[in-house]
Amino acid sequence: MNGRGGIEMLRNSRGYSLVELIVVMAIFVAVLVVTSNGFKTVLTQVGSQSKLLETDIGNVVGLEVLRSDLQSAGYGLPWTFQNTPVADYTEVSASEDTSAMPFAAPFWEGVKSPRSYNDAPDKVPRAVQSEDTAFNKVGSVGSKYLVLKSLTLLPEATPKKWTTVTYSNTSKNESNWNDPIRSFATTGTPPERVMVIRNVFVDGIPTKQMQVSSSGVFSSPFSTYTTLTLPHSSGDVFEVYGVAKASSLRMPFNRADYYVRTPTTPPPACAPNTGVLYKAYLNQTSGFTELPLLDCVADMQVVYGLGPAGSTEVNLHQAAPPATAKDIREQVKEIRLYILAHTGRKDSGYTHPSRQVVVGEDFGGGVVGRSFDLQNVIGTGWQNYRWKLYTIVVRPQNLIQ
């Protein structure tokens, strides 16, 4: 009984055969391969979606800066000068460092440079200008160089401050916000510098006249702004605008230029022949400060909606703005910006549906802007990027009259 039981136990406790072990291992390896491939796919998709989300967040921030700047175009700009400003009104001067951006950008053609968009030394500022560059130029059309002029284009508090001053026969009345954020500081180094606009009638037409002394001075620290209100009479109304915190001003407004260029070290996720959309604001002291707004940009086009003076209606769209400050102020009712860029990085599993993208719009008489050929301009692999057309449409309230 005991011997037979021992034999049964030996039979029941025998190991797996070699064939059984090989079969089990083969099944295990197959499961690992399938699992790892699925995991790799998940990681790829997560990485792609993560990059898309990162790109979208950055794009929202950069485009909101641009939209806000477009909306403010023309804010605080004078329409006429009391006297002609002298040497202090220089804008982009001849002594700028031409090895710095945007002077050194490779897209300039002929003798063009940031100085080409000056209104100094004696002209009232134009709120908006734009022109073709050589970046991704095909035929006569390239990505645009956009110039905006307004007070609020600098990333500081002073240009956002203003107050109204009225005079009577016996006194001066100055609006007081009683708010340290909105009120001008009367002390500090450098001081908050201001310019003064007087609301006057010229030939029966209301106009905003910048106060310029007989010696050509057009700005002062806020603490001494009353020197710019002379002479004045009872009933005169003046608007005092902050320009910048600086020891002196080179212009009675602020300016920012927008353009696409390829940096020395391009963002690694970007397609060939794309660049970065930059905002370069002109410092009141010297030089530009360049800020990146949007990566992986292939093109930027600007379209202007025009209409008659005194109306808010748009009856014409064109790629070039009116030539003079007065015509810009009276005719530009709408500014439309079109930016072609891609989100995320190259994805070999994605195919973009079309090689042609209209960067602009057809308003019934043909495309204003251009039709961008991705295959010809971007080159091999263009179809593996998620191309997107961003459209910004603003009706700048400081221009519409």
Q: What is the C-alpha to C-alpha distance for residues 266 and 271, in angstroms, rounded to an integer?
A: 9
Grouping H, G, I as helix, E, B as strand and the rest as coil, residue 355 is coil
Q: Identify the pLDDT of residue 338.
A: 98
Instruction: Give bridge partners of residue 394 from the DSSP assignment.
Output: 335
**Closest to 338 (Cα-Cα) out of 147, 144, 153:** 144
Region 359-375 average pLDDT:
96
Q: Which two tokens stand for residue 299?
A: 């093109």
Phi first, then psi: give them for residue 248, nearest 5 degrees: -160, 165
Helices (H) and strands (E) in the chain, counts: 4, 17
The answer on pLDDT for 53 being more than 70 is: no
Average predicted confidence (pLDDT) for the chain: 90
Position 29 confidence tier, pLDDT thresholds 50, 70, 90: confident
Residue range 200-223: average pLDDT? 91
Nearest one of 166, 163, 162 to 237, comparing CA atoms? 166
Check whether 130 has a pLDDT greater than 80.
yes
Among candidate residues 401, 267, 294, the one with its CA nearest the CA of residue 56: 294
Confidence of residue 52 (pLDDT cuts 50, 70, 90): very low
Task: In whole angstroms, give the CA distance from residue 103 to residue 136.
Answer: 18
pLDDT tops 90 at residue 56: no
The kind and range of the H/E element at 359 are strand 356-362
Q: 392 falls in which pLDDT band (50, 70, 90)?
A: very high
Average pLDDT over residues 354-378: 97
The pLDDT of residue 57 is 58
pLDDT at 32 exceeding the cut of 60 = yes
Neighbours of 342 (CB within 10 A): 24
pLDDT category, 6, cuts 50, 70, 90? low
145: closest CA among 64, 260, 294? 260
Longest dimension (CA), the chain: 133
pTM of the predicted model as reported, rounded to 2 decimal places: 0.87
* pLDDT tens digits, one per residue of 148-199: 999 999 999 999 999 999 999 989 999 989 898 999 999 999 999 999 999 8
Beta bridge partners of 245: 192
Q: Are 98 and 114 in contact (CB under 8 A)?
A: no
Give residue 55's pLDDT band: very low, low, confident or very high (50, 70, 90): very low
Helix locations, 73-194, DSSP H: none
Residue 342's H or E segment, with its range, is strand 332-343
Task: Kindly state the percentage of the chain with pLDDT values over 90.
Answer: 78
User: Element (H or E) spanning 150, and its range?
Assistant: strand 144-150
CB atoms within 10 A of CB 55: 22
Reported in sequence order, the residue ranges of 108-230 that DSSP labels E, i.e. its strands, are 128-132, 144-150, 162-167, 172-174, 192-202, 205-210, 220-221
Q: Output the CA angle 311-315-320, nearest 5 degrees.
A: 105
Integer Cα distance of 297 and 340 in angstroms: 6
